[in-house]
Amino acid sequence: MFQATDVITKHSESAGYHERVQELPLPSNFSWGTATAAYQVEGGADQGGKGKSIWDTFSHLQPSRTNGEHADVACDHYNRMPEDVDLMSTFDVDVYRFSLSWSRIIPFGGRKDAISDEGIAFYDKLINNLLEHNIEPVVTLYHWDLPQALYDRYHGFLDTDEFRADFIHYARVCFSRFGDRVRKWVTFNEPYIISIFAHLNGTLAPGHCREQGTDTKTEPWRVGHTIILSHASVVQMYASEFQPTQEGSISIVLNGHFYEPFNPQNQADIDAAERRMVFYIGWFGDTIFLGQDYPIAMREYLGTRLPTFTSEEIELLRQTAQLNAFYGMNHYSTKYARQLTDPPTDDDWTSNIEEGPVNSDGLEIGPASAQQWLRVAPEGFRKLLNWVWKRYRLPVIITENGCPCIGEKDVQVAINDTFRQRYFGLYLDAISRAIYQDGVDVKGYYAWSLMDNYEWAAGYGPRYGIVHVDFETLKRTPKGSAWYLRDSFKSRRQASS
């Protein structure tokens, strides 16, 4: 990462500092909603027969890698779900994107293991409650919480055949039990994060990293390989067994920053910015949405570290590429990319590229939120929408976008979250420009997150919610951003009709 001493930062030229929200129009049928993940909000760790996940284990490790905090209770959504759905309804949301806890549905996770009737019943009630409030359920099958039993048996993603078979079974159970009411499915949330942050950097469960003695040269790429093939197999199964009668759609959610060159006059940095996009997004996007082998740049740089597809697997990718109905985009910020010249580490995953918030002229990409990496950079968001649209030509749904505000431990600061409201407004304006000026097909926007929750390795520190949660009393209090989004979408969609 860039050091603060590298350059003297300049604020005055950064668009993110002075740009004003214009409340630009959005299509009348544009959908808006909120998003959460099961482990981050549900709690109920020992209720309803739920089995342990790798996050239950990871968050209780000593010494802690999660600020000494865990999500055994979290927001207690498991017990307060009706209240939370009622709350969403007051914001006039169209959609609620949530994930299923695999170990709540199949406590030990495997294809020969028992299914929990209580787990099924909880999600039945949630889906029915949403529909009664005219809120569309958008369901993610996997949001980072692998059943611990599957990790104990074969280390999860590191055994492609075993994981793939168990994931197909789990997906089939979910389609069978919930597919009559769910019309939009996501297989995996952010495979890049699963691969790199959980199996190279070690900051997320199961915490594999060089210091733990794991093979960081090859593991992340093996994990990504497993995810790609498991996704394709589930898409194929859904299309043949369920889609004809359920008439739903399915895809995957990829996260990604946009990258600008550290020095826009330096061809090496220009190339680095594009190559960073390919390593981050093209890794999964090209294989899944284009149905082809890994990008050439990855093959050339990684060599034998990158797995190979068999001819049968390439055919599976080719056949299922056209079955993905949308591009799910999780996006938060933009960074500068700088090509390094010193030799990389033997487990480098970036193509020897450094990234940071400040360029060679000392210009910050935008003002920082409560997390320094997350900067307000709406123009980068627009550029990412264009990059994805031109490469994959799929309708885009913004499945996550949001930010934490500085000082939100103070409840009054949190509720009067003007920084977040401005962030949302600028990013929605960027979507409008992408649609009406650039021709990008963007279908919807799901704010991250419905409420303050357990932010993985960061514990309960950063607050991304549009609803404040007091983690001692679990009281929910809508923030200004909740009402801003409600009113903004109403006016933006009316303006286009």
Q: Three-state DSSP class for 443?
A: strand
pTM of the model: 0.96
pLDDT in tens, 172-227: 999 999 999 999 999 999 999 999 999 999 999 999 999 999 999 999 999 999 99
- Domain of residue 127 covers 15-496
- Residue range 422-448: average pLDDT? 98
- Which of 258, 284, 278, 292 shows the shortest CA–CA distance to 195? 284
> pLDDT at position 17, please?
73
Within a domain: 484: yes
Within a domain: 365: yes
Within a domain: 6: no
- The residues near 392 (Cβ < 8 Å, ≥ 6 apart) are 285, 289, 290, 327
Within a domain: 5: no
Kindly state the DSSP code that residue 156 receives in the 8-state scheme.
G
Within a domain: 218: yes
> pLDDT at position 18, please?
81
Q: CATH code at 213?
A: 3.20.20.80
Domain count for the chain, please give it: 1
Please name the residue ranges forming H helices in 311-361. Answer: 311-321
Confidence of residue 36 (pLDDT cuts 50, 70, 90): very high
Within a domain: 400: yes
Confidence of residue 331 (pLDDT cuts 50, 70, 90): very high
Chain mean pLDDT for the chain: 96
Within a domain: 401: yes
- Residue range 403-416: average pLDDT? 96
Within a domain: 367: yes
The proportion of the chain whose per-residue pLDDT surpasses 70, expressed as a percent, equals 97
Catalytic residues: 190, 400
Backbone angles phi, psi at 250, to 5 degrees: -150, 150
Instruction: Report the C-alpha gap between 104 and 118 in whole angstroms.
Output: 8
Backbone angles phi, psi at 206, to 5 degrees: -90, 10
> Angle at CA 322, nearest 5°, toward 316 and 324?
95
Confidence of residue 44 (pLDDT cuts 50, 70, 90): very high
